[in-house]
A and B are shown apart, each in its own frame.
Chain A
Amino acid sequence: MKQNRIKTRYLVNFAALIVLFAVVVGMGMLGGNTMKLKIAPSVWQCSYLIIMAASLNLVLGFLGQLSLGHCGFMAVGAYAAALISLAFQRAGFYTEKAGAAFFLVLLISIAAAGVSAALLGLLVGIPALRLKGDYLAIITLGFGMIIVNVINNLPFCGQQGLSQGSASSALYASGLGFSNDEKMQYLWVAGLAVILCMTCMFMFVRSKYGRAIRAIRDNEIAASASGINVSYYKVLTFTISAFFAGITGALYACCNAALATSSFSFTNGSILNSVFIVVMVVVGGMGSLTGSVIAAVVLFLLNYTIKNGAWVSALPAFLQNVFTYPMLVYSIALIIVIMFRPRGIMGSREFALCDIPQWPGRIKAYFTSRAAGKAARKEGKSHG
Chain B
Amino acid sequence: MITFIQFLITGLRLGSVYALIALGYTMVYGIIKLINFAHGDFIMVGGYTLFFTIPIMMNLGVPGWLAVVPAVVICACVGMLVELLAYRPVRKTGNNLTCLITAIAMSFVLENLAQAIPAIGPDPKVPYTLFAKTYSIGGVAVSQATIITVAVSAIIMVALYLFTQKARVGCAMRCVSEDKEAATLMGINVNHTIIVTFGIGAGLAAVAALMYIAQYPKVYTTMGATLGIYAFVAAVLGGIGSLPGAMLGGLLIGIVQSGANTYISSSMSDTFVYLILIVVLMIRPAGILGKNVGEKV
**CB within 8 Å of B: which residues of A?**
60, 64, 66, 127-128, 130-131, 133-135, 137-139, 141-143, 145-146, 149-150, 152-153, 221, 266-267, 269, 275, 278-279, 282, 321-322, 324-325, 327-328, 330-332, 334-335, 338-340, 342
Contacts and interface: CB of A to CB of B under 8 A. Distances in A.
B77 interface: no
A138 B115 contact: no
B190 interface: no
A221 B96 CA distance: 18
Q: Across the A-B interface, give the 6 residue pairs with the lowest CB-CB distance, nearest first.
A: A142-B274, A342-B94, A328-B112, A331-B108, A331-B105, A334-B105
A324 B113 CA distance: 11
A376 B232 CA distance: 43
B191 interface: no
A334 B105 CA distance: 7
Nearest to A334: B105
Given A153-B265, A342-B95, A138 B35 contact: yes
Contacts of B222: 267, 269
Contacts of B297: 221
B90 interface: yes
A131 B285 contact: yes
Interface of B: 33, 35, 86, 89-90, 93-98, 100-102, 104-106, 108-109, 111-113, 115-116, 222, 225-226, 229, 232-233, 236, 265, 267-268, 270-271, 274-275, 277-278, 281-282, 285, 295, 297
Contacts of B105: 275, 279, 331-332, 334-335, 338
B112 A145 contact: no
30 contacts: A64-B97, A66-B101, A131-B281, A133-B96, A134-B33, A134-B100, A138-B232, A138-B277, A139-B278, A143-B274, A145-B229, A145-B271, A146-B271, A149-B268, A153-B268, A221-B297, A266-B225, A275-B104, A325-B116, A327-B112, A328-B108, A330-B108, A331-B105, A331-B108, A331-B109, A332-B109, A334-B105, A335-B90, A335-B105, A338-B90
Contacts of A152: 267
B268 A138 contact: no
Given A130-B285, A138-B236, A139-B277, A339 B89 contact: yes
B233 A142 contact: yes
Given A137-B100, A146-B275, A153-B267, 10 more contacts: A133-B97, A138-B236, A149-B267, A221-B297, A278-B104, A327-B108, A327-B111, A331-B105, A339-B90, A342-B94
B25 to A, nearest CB: 11
A128 B274 CA distance: 12
Contacts of B271: 145-146, 149-150
A133 B37 CA distance: 15
A119 to B, nearest CB: 18
A331 B112 contact: yes
A146 B270 contact: yes
A64 B229 CA distance: 23
A331 B35 contact: no
Contacts, number: 120
Name which of B33, B98, B102, B297 has the most chain A CB atoms within 10 A of its CB: B98
A112 B102 CA distance: 36
A334 B90 contact: no
Contacts of A282: 98, 101
A325 B95 contact: no
A137 B90 contact: no
Nearest to B96: A133
Nearest to A329: B112
Contacts of A127: 278, 282
A275 B108 CA distance: 10
A334 B274 contact: no
Nearest to A325: B112
Contact of B116 (A130, A279, A328, A332): A328
A135 B96 contact: no
Contacts of A131: 281, 285
Given A149-B270, A339-B93, A334 B116 contact: no
Given A146-B275, A325-B112, A66 B281 contact: no
A231 to B, nearest CB: 14
Nearest to A221: B297
A135 B236 contact: yes
B184 to A, nearest CB: 14
Contacts of B96: 133-134
A214 to B, nearest CB: 15
A64 B111 CA distance: 28
A352 B268 CA distance: 48
Contacts of A135: 236, 281, 285
Contacts of A331: 105-106, 108-109, 112
A74 B208 CA distance: 35
A188 to B, nearest CB: 35
Nearest to B287: A135
A156 to B, nearest CB: 16
Nearest to A138: B236
Contact of B229 (A60, A141, A146): A141
A324 B225 CA distance: 21
A338 B100 contact: no
B101 A266 contact: no
A128 B275 CA distance: 12
Nearest to B104: A275
A267 B225 contact: yes
A287 to B, nearest CB: 12
A223 to B, nearest CB: 13
A318 to B, nearest CB: 11
